[in-house]
Structure 1
Amino acid sequence: MNQRNFRKERIGIVVSNKMNKTIIVVNNRKIKHHIYKKFTNKITKYYVHDETNMSNEGDIVRIMETRPLSKNKRWRLVETIVKAK
């Protein structure tokens, strides 16, 4: 019996919704340098499939990994956690 692994999930902020059915989500992390012990910010941008075009800039959303949907899109929108004001 072959079981699939769980899909990765991320929480991030929507920074762009200009494309049709696509949003760009940014995930900020703090990484500690292994020698200098200084924290630096690491920013990762995800192209996310938003079927209903409901997300706006500033929303905090949960995204999930999926099969490749286009050249850059490998994530899909699961839910909107906090709507932007």
Structure 2
Amino acid sequence: MTDMPISLQRPARSWFHHIPVIGWIAYDIANGDADTIWYALVILLTVMVLAVKTWGLVALALTALAMVPVIFATLILITVGK
């Protein structure tokens, strides 16, 4: 038997990828399987449904309020043409 050096070149990980749960999902979306984004969306939808079942309309309103800057930035990027 011959010894083979194991040198797998993994992509470099940024500081964002070292955050425990969010970073792992972001790393898998960037470098993993193409289906990972769908798994992440199902997880987010499930968390949203559970939050609405637990706290009611308040969870839905706070989620909409948290999405305002994201939508605002998206509209600005569309207007600029990027």
Shorter chain as normaliser: what TM range? Answer: under 0.3
Structure with a larger share of its residues in helix: 2
Q: Based on CA coordinates, which of the two structures has the bigger radius of gyration?
A: 2
Higher relative contact order (CA 8 A, sep 6+): 1
- TM-score, normalized by length of structure 1? 0.21
Q: Which has the higher strand share?
A: 1
